[in-house]
A = this chain, B = another copy of it.
Amino acid sequence: MPDFVDRPDAALPEDLPTSTLPSLFDKCIRFFEPDGDYATVKGADLYPYFRPLERNEGTRAIINGREVIMAGSNNYLGLTSDPRVKQAAIEAIENYGTGCTGSRFLNGTLDLHLQLEERLAAFMNKESCVLFSTGYMTNQGVIQAVTTKGDFVFSDKDNHACIVAGTQVSLAETVRYRHNDLDHLRLLLERVHREHPQAGKLIVTDGVFSMSGVIARVPELVALAEEFGAALMLDDAHAIGAIGPGGRGSAAHFGLADRAHLITGTFSKSFASLGGFCVGDHDVIEYIRHKASAHIFSASMPPANVATVLKCLDILETETWRIERLWQISNYMREGFRSLGFDVWNSEAPIIPVVIGDMMTCFQFWKDLLDAGVFVNAVVPPAVPPGQALMRTSYMATHSDEELDFILEAFERIGRRHGIIGRNGRAH
């Protein structure tokens, strides 16, 4: 190595003591203590998280060398391994390289980014669109940008973690309303409106809730927003490319796309990539572009990630059977689980929760399903209420009838073994 690297200007003080772990990290040590939940679950080999997949191609994945049916992915349109999508991504790498090494703001804007923004604005029937490099940063950045000191954000208590992050980085005051409880929201709006009649107000909700598959009550939300002069923002991460006419999301599902001011989406679900976007009125979107920290101070989407979304959008617009098939599958599976006696909450989307109850049973159920050749997601408190640990199942347009029946049969067999459903196919 050259001198200037090995011999820095500043010298190391000679009397430094040996390093010991700072007390800040006591919490980390405690987390892994031998009698804690983590050690117990891990010790019993029931730990369902961070499991590496050797392959993850559409409806099949390889885990621990074994092929399993994937019913725990957000790959709703089944496009992550579509040859046309892969080819588009490969061509983008050949033409533009692997990364942009800069933010959209400075040196990371390619013509590809502008193309995608135009296409998405047109697809969503909105004036403008702004991209973010992850879906998480999209909601965080949009909320931070459009709200400031003196504004109020009204946020559903079950909103996604990135909306919560948005309210935390925002200078506005946040008011949380009970999940999908619009009477509660009205009460809070009335109170804030009485005390701060001039304050800017933003109502923000998941369009489709990610754990339950429940659709937000957009008609009532639109009515409340307009009554109180609030802006309405829908996080359609699990809705665009999944529900509504042509896959246009939760507001379109109710014929109300023009009444939602801001609609956000993600590219790591139906669009087989990584990133996110927000559509809305031109001035509002341009303002977000200039004010969202997570947009300005983060590197732009790499060329392959952008090209993937452009190709998925082509396919979504031309192969309309995908959204229709996705809905047929969702209805079939929901009815299937219900007729076996499982509780699937009020799911309405391609996400179907199957309630197991107790956390340890949930982990065991997850492991038994995996052994039976089905991969789903185990969701335990605090992500769900106590005693409502569940298997989160989700579906793709490309699941075959045989795969769906295989999944139902596995759930039936294991559900009976654990006493979750009775022998006669009704709840135990």
Show the binding face of A for B, using Cβ within 8 Å. 1-2, 4-6, 8, 10-13, 16-17, 19-29, 31-32, 38, 49-57, 61, 70, 72-75, 79-81, 85-86, 89-90, 93-94, 96-102, 104-107, 109-111, 113-114, 133-137, 140, 146-148, 151, 160-162, 164-165, 168-169, 198-202, 217-220, 222-223, 225-226, 229-231, 243-246, 253-256, 258-259, 261, 266-269, 271-274, 281, 283-284, 286-287, 289-291, 293-294, 296-299, 301-302, 304-305, 308, 320, 323-324, 327, 331, 375, 377
Contacts and interface: CB of A to CB of B under 8 A. Distances in A.
A272 B99 contact: yes
A109 B53 contact: yes
A298 B10 contact: no
Given A10-B254, A297-B160, A284 B100 contact: no
A51 B161 CA distance: 32
Nearest to A115: B52
B230 A24 contact: yes
A207 B377 CA distance: 38
A226 B93 CA distance: 46
A72 B268 contact: no
B97 A86 contact: yes
Contact of A101 (B38, B73, B299, B327): B73
A96 B56 contact: yes
Contacts of A73: 101-102, 107
A299 B134 contact: yes
Contact of A273 (B32, B114, B302): B302
Nearest to A160: B297
Given A54-B110, A93-B304, A101-B268, 17 more contacts: A22-B200, A24-B146, A27-B148, A56-B110, A72-B102, A73-B101, A74-B299, A80-B97, A80-B99, A85-B98, A89-B304, A90-B94, A98-B308, A135-B298, A137-B137, A274-B274, A274-B301
A244 B5 contact: yes
Contact of A302 (B274, B320, B324): B274
A367 to B, nearest CB: 15
Give the oligomeric copy count. Answer: 2
Nearest to A170: B168
A72 B107 contact: yes
Contact of A375 (B12, B107, B226, B331): B107
Nearest to A10: B219
Given A90-B93, A200-B24, A53 B110 contact: yes
A287 B27 contact: yes
A269 B101 contact: yes
A259 B19 contact: yes
Nearest to A133: B134
Contact of A24 (B102, B202, B273, B294): B202
Given A97-B272, A308-B99, A266 B136 contact: no
A253 B7 CA distance: 8
B16 A259 contact: yes
14 contacts: A2-B324, A5-B323, A10-B219, A12-B222, A12-B255, A16-B259, A23-B198, A27-B200, A32-B287, A53-B107, A55-B96, A56-B97, A133-B136, A134-B299
Contacts of A13: 219-220, 223
Contact of A272 (B8, B20, B98, B133): B98
A111 B293 contact: no
A29 B52 CA distance: 48
Contacts of A284: 25, 28
B294 A136 contact: yes
